[in-house]
Amino acid sequence: MKNSIDRNISKLLLLKELQFNNLSIIRKDDLKSLRQLRILNLQDNQIHTIDGESFRDLILLEKLRLNSNKLNHILDGTFSALKQLQRLTLNYNNLTTLPLLPLARLLDLRVLRLHDNSFICDCRLLWLAKYLKLHPFLGLNARCQQPDTLNHKDITSLVEEEKQCNSMDADDIEYTCNVPICPHPCTCFNGVVDCKDKELNEIPRNIPDTTIELRLEKNRIIEIPPKVFSHLKKLRRFILYRNNLKMLPSRAFSDLSALQLLHLYNNQLVYLPLGIFNQLSHLQLLLLNANKITCVRGDAFEGLEKLSLLSLYDNQLKTLANETFIPLKSLQTLHLARNPFICDCHLRWLNAYLRDKQIETSGVRCAAPRRMAKRRFGVLNDRKFRCRNRMEFELTAHSGQCGLRCPKFCQCDGTTVTCRGQQLQEIPNDIPIFTTELHLQDNQIKRVPRDGSFRRLRSLRTLDLRNNRLEEIDDDAFDGASALNELYVLSVAPFRRSILSKMVNFEI
């Protein structure tokens, strides 16, 4: 049985009919000096290895048949010398991938056969999908074998389906495309990382730093860890709607200086932290609609000079500070409807602003007081916006501050309030409504009463009451604190598990 080309045969100028010879290896010197050779038939053998320099002397070769062998790989330089090659058959082999370089220089290629191989349609074949798209008469019927989702599909379908590498094979292969890894179970293509509708509970790790667009919509994500996006310097479009986000870290987007589009609508957000957007100098579109935002700081949109569209539609806003939209020099479209605005003297400015700018397109209307209900902004006389109700006045007078004044004897850092070791005898009644962590340990607190004070704290997750003088916690004391899932207490004699029974997120 032969396993390489006979030296005497290799001296022929026209080499044909070497099929069915059980050849298994083509060595680098087997075809040496055959510079006049134009046709080489090597089909129907057992060839599994071709040295990268085997064809280096065949500079006039026009037809090369390698079909029906056992090739499972082609080295980069294999065909680099074949400038005149017009016909190449690689069908009926065991190829799982094909590097770019073997075909890149074959400019005269008229026939290319690749069908009936074992192609794995991952990142390594993206170039081939595009190549075959540009050359529709080459590689006809070349199909994927793996993964299962692309089984028997044409390789060119990689372009339409945006399929690329995933984390399951990322450790085993050396990638030749721009994106070295794709987080499971997402798909990646041309800078787009698509993780939409994957039932994710958290932000995926290993998002490529080449990502231009990140799609995380329609998942179950409840939080954004600090600095999770710090490496995404090229990110331009971030889509995160229809998740369960209740809060954002104050520096969640601080490293995304190239960001142009941010979709955060249809979440559970109630509060926008200080400076959350102020590093997004290129942001053009910001969608915050369909959340539960109750207050917007007066400086919330500082730095967004290129923003052209802002949606606050369908939230819980009752008022806005008159400096809110001043930084938005490029604003062309504004959505404010479906908010319970109190149209008193503190929103007179908004009526005038919308009348002058003509940029509000959602039809925003007043909700209160009764005499102003359902009246449309921008068409009302400014004198209609009067302050009469003292209770409403107190509510709207401090618009833009968002109730973030820190209680006496406490320290506030973002949404964390620390009142530790201050000899407090009761829980302060002016805890900011957006507090997520409340530290009250090392005080003199004796009782947690059922006075409804926790109904304000719907974002509270952690409450620490250790090292106090607690003697009693009333039933339903934490009623309304629906997000509370960490409670630290010590030495409370009458403490009952039933106190926590209504707290659906709490793990006893």
In a domain, 235, yes or no: no
In a domain, 480, yes or no: yes
Q: How confident is the model over 87-92, as a mean pLDDT?
A: 95
What are the backbone dihedrals phi and psi of residue 406, each rounded to the nearest 5 degrees, phi first?
-80, 140
Report pLDDT for 181. Answer: 65
Strand 187-189 versus strand 144-146 pairing type: unpaired
pLDDT digit string, tens, across residues 408-438: 889 886 678 899 999 999 999 888 877 888 9
Reduced to 3 states (helix: H, G, I; strand: E, B; else coil), residue 497 is: helix
Work out the pLDDT band at 310, boundaries 50, 70, 90: very high
Kindly tell me the sign of the dihedral angle through the C-alpha atoms of 149, 152, 157, 158.
positive
- Rounded (to 5) percent helix, strand, coil in the chain: 10, 15, 75
Q: Is residue 313 predicted with pLDDT exceeding 90?
A: yes
In a domain, 110, yes or no: yes
CA dist 98 and 53 (Å) reads 17
Q: How confident is the model over 265-269, as a mean pLDDT?
A: 95
Report pLDDT for 111. Answer: 93
Sequence-distant (≥ 6) Cβ neighbours of residue 68 within 8 angstroms: 19, 43, 44, 45, 91, 92, 93
Report pLDDT for 187. Answer: 84
- Of 112-121, 171-180, 331-340, 492-501, the range with the highest mean pLDDT is 331-340
Q: Please, what is the Cα angle at 259 between 254 and 260, to 5 degrees?
A: 140
% of the chain at pLDDT higher than 90:
45
List the single range of 165-174, 241-250, 386-395 with lowest mean pLDDT.
165-174
CA dist 443 and 118 (Å) reads 70
Q: Is residue 397 predicted with pLDDT exceeding 90?
A: no
Query: Residue 413's domain spans which residues?
Result: 403-508
CA dist 216 and 243 (Å) reads 8
Work out the pLDDT band at 303, boundaries 50, 70, 90: very high
Report pLDDT for 198. Answer: 93
Report pLDDT for 8. Answer: 44
Kindly tell me the sign of the dihedral angle through the C-alpha atoms of 167, 173, 174, 176.
negative
The C-alpha torsion from 131 through 133 and 136 to 142, rounded to 10°, is: 80
CA dist 224 and 230 (Å) reads 12
Nearest to 144, CA basis, from 112, 121, 123: 121
Cα 38 to Cα 53, 54, 102, 225, distances in angstroms: 17, 15, 19, 63
CA dist 298 and 276 (Å) reads 13
Whether the Cβ atoms of residue 415 and residue 437 lie closer than 8 Å to each other: yes
**Residue after which a domain boundary falls, among 126, 144, 163:** 163
Per the model's pLDDT, the better-predicted residue between 82 and 483 turns out to be 82
Report pLDDT for 4. Answer: 52
Report pLDDT for 507. Answer: 42
Report pLDDT for 13. Answer: 44
pLDDT digit string, tens, across residues 201-250: 999 988 988 899 999 999 999 989 878 899 999 999 999 999 999 888 88
Work out the pLDDT band at 170, boundaries 50, 70, 90: very low
Element spanning 26, H or E: strand 25-26
- Of 91-105, 174-188, 489-503, the range with the highest mean pLDDT is 91-105
Q: What is the CATH number of the domain that holds 18?
A: 3.80.10.10
In a domain, 223, yes or no: no
Sequence-distant (≥ 6) Cβ neighbours of residue 401 within 8 angstroms: 297, 298, 321
pLDDT digit string, tens, across residues 428-468: 988 887 788 899 999 999 999 988 888 878 778 889 999 99
In a domain, 193, yes or no: no
**Residue after which a domain boundary falls, among 129, 163, 197:** 163
Report pLDDT for 172. Answer: 33
Sequence-distant (≥ 6) Cβ neighbours of residue 390 within 8 angstroms: none
Element spanning 76, H or E: none
Q: How many CB atoms are closer than 10 A to CB 436?
A: 20
Domain count, the chain: 2
Work out the pLDDT band at 188, boundaries 50, 70, 90: confident
Work out the pLDDT band at 273, boundaries 50, 70, 90: confident
Structure tokens at 96: 């799982």
Nearest to 4, CA basis, from 56, 50, 44: 50
Work out the pLDDT band at 161, boundaries 50, 70, 90: low
Per the model's pLDDT, the better-predicted residue between 313 and 471 turns out to be 313
Matching residue, tokens 């400038």? 83
Q: How confident is the model over 342-354, as a mean pLDDT?
A: 94
Length reported for the chain: 508
Q: Is residue 354 predicted with pLDDT exceeding 50?
A: yes
- Max distance between CA atoms of the chain, in angstroms, equals 109
In a domain, 147, yes or no: yes
Q: Is residue 336 predicted with pLDDT exceeding 90?
A: yes
Query: What are residue 100's DSSP bridge partners?
Result: none
Report pLDDT for 212. Answer: 92
Structure tokens at 321: 């500070």
Work out the pLDDT band at 176, boundaries 50, 70, 90: very low
Work out the pLDDT band at 174, boundaries 50, 70, 90: very low
pLDDT, mean over the chain: 83
Report pLDDT for 484. Answer: 87
pLDDT digit string, tens, across residues 133-151: 888 889 999 999 887 778 8
Query: What are residue 311's DSSP bridge partners?
Result: 287, 335
Q: Is residue 112 predicted with pLDDT exceeding 90?
A: yes
In a domain, 336, yes or no: no
What residue spans of 358-474 are helical by DSSP H?
390-396
Work out the pLDDT band at 168, boundaries 50, 70, 90: very low
Q: Which amino acid is at 118?
A: S
Whether the Cβ atoms of residue 208 and residue 193 lie closer than 8 Å to each other: yes
Nearest to 438, CA basis, from 389, 507, 386, 487: 487
Q: How confident is the model over 67-94, as a mean pLDDT?
A: 90
Nearest to 431, CA basis, from 444, 443, 440: 440
**Residue after which a domain boundary falls, among 163, 195, 224:** 163
Q: Which amino acid is at 140?
A: L
Q: How confident is the model over 327-347, as a mean pLDDT?
A: 95
Matching residue, tokens 């979440």? 267
Work out the pLDDT band at 5, boundaries 50, 70, 90: low
In a domain, 238, yes or no: no
